[in-house]
Structure formats: C-alpha cells, structure tokens
Amino acid sequence: MSVTLQKASFWKRISAFMFDFIVTIMLAMGFATVINAVCGYDQKAAELNSYTTYYEDYYGVDFDISEEDFYQLSAEEQSVYTEAKKALYSDVDYQDAYQDVFYLTLLMYGGGALIAFLIWYFAIPLFFGYGRTMGKKIFGIAVIRTNCVKVSPPVLFIRTVVGMYAIETMMPLALLIMIWFNMMGIVGLITIGLLGILQVAVLIVTKTHSSIHDLLTDTAVVEFASQQIFDTQEDLMHYVQEEHAKAVENAEYDRFQNNETKQM
C-alpha cells in the first residue's frame, strides 16, 4: 500500500516561486554589493578602464564604437583602430586586470547568489520545516520526498546548492558573464538555451512536474495541509505494514462473512 502525493497546484507553485525569486534577487544583489566592497571590485574595474582610456587617447580612437561605425571609418582610421586594439590586448598589465575583473565578477555575483540561496532556500526551510521557504509557507505548499517522507537537511542542501544554485543558476550565469567578457560566443547562448529546454522538458515529462533540482533529489512540491508526511523511512514502513495488516484482516473477515451467508 502506498501513500498518495497531494501535488501542489501550478498557480500556487508559480506564485511561491515568483515571491521567493524576487526576494532572492534582492538578497543576492545586497550580498554582491558587500563582496564588491570587500574585494575591491570597483578599484580593479577602474584600473582596467584606465588601460583602455590610455590606448584610446594615445591612438586617438574610441573602442566603444559599433561594428557598423567601424566600417564607416576610412581605411587609414580602421588600420589605426586595429593597431590600437592589438596594442591594448598585448599589454600584459591589461590582460592581468581583465582576468582579475572577470574572476571578481564571478565571485561577486556567484558568491552573492550562493549566500542568498543558502539563507532563503536552506536555512529558512530548516527553520519552518518541510522544505518551506517564506513563499511556500504563504501559499500553503511544502517539499517532501516522493515517497512522502520528510525532506532531510542533507537532501535539502543538495537540492539547494547542487540543483537550484549550481545547475539552474550558476551555470547559465557563468556562461552569460563569459559571453559578456568575450570569452564565449554562440556556443554559450546555445548551452543556455539547451538548459532552458531541459528544464521545461523535465517539468512536462515527470509525473510530479518537477524541476531539475527536484528530479535530482527525488523530491516533490505538495499541498501541505492535505499531504500525509512521515518523519522517517521507518515511520513510513511501519504505516504500510499496519495498513497491510488491516487489509488482510478485513479480507479475512469478509471471507468469513461470505461463508456464513452461504451456509445460511
């Protein structure tokens, strides 16, 4: 005998998601600002910009022009522009500053997001219990294992850090940052698109219409008020055994009653 999952409605899930998403973004940006101040991102970005400004002034060019504007330049101006770019990219100090700003950008946004996720999707659900964020608590839904057992802290941690943060958030974020820094082109955009398609496919195909992080940890979002939830696997097994014993007892009683009826 199995216990039925009382799956949360789509609108409750999407409403809770939107509430949690907005708060998480605010937290992540706040922590990113703190990391910015601690790591000196602004100073390093200013240093990088100083190298660009130096070569712009030295060669009398503007590196911020569009491709269309570039082709409107004269052949001589294009040659000077190309030489200036080559000189800038060959500058070892510029290369070092560029890498520093890239890694600090990853640290700032990735670190801010990680702290926000750990607080909102791990620490708060541990406090409320049953995997409930503030959004899930407001809309009356919860997170449990698909066998209706209460989600444990290790499983909740994997769901949050590996599923929600690393795969669903940090991977596309890192690709976007690499695209922004001209370290990756169309391949990065295709990869982000494939991740999005995979997420939608998982939502459609799985019986519980779960996200990647739920599929990874074998969890589901359910109606908290009506869902039967067991504290441990042992409690679930004990309940199943009891229900099985009752079913057997009822079946024997029905057989006895049928035999008595036939004899009469």
Specify the range with the lowest mean pLDDT, choosing from 22-31, 74-83, 188-197, 253-262. 253-262
How far apart are alpha carbons 125 and 224 in whole angstroms?
13
pLDDT, mean over the chain: 90
What 8-state DSSP symbol labels residue 230?
B
How far apart are alpha carbons 126 and 42 in whole angstroms?
36
262 or 101, greater pLDDT: 101
Please state the φ and ψ torsions of residue 152, each to the nearest 5 degrees. Answer: -90, 160
What is the structure's pLDDT at 32?
96
What is the structure's pLDDT at 240?
76
Sign of CA dihedral 20, 26, 32, 37: negative
260 or 78, greater pLDDT: 78
Confidence tier at 20 by pLDDT (50, 70, 90): very high
Per-residue pLDDT reduced to its tens digit, 143-197 = 999 999 999 999 999 999 999 999 999 999 999 999 999 888 888 889 999 988 9
What is the structure's pLDDT at 67?
85
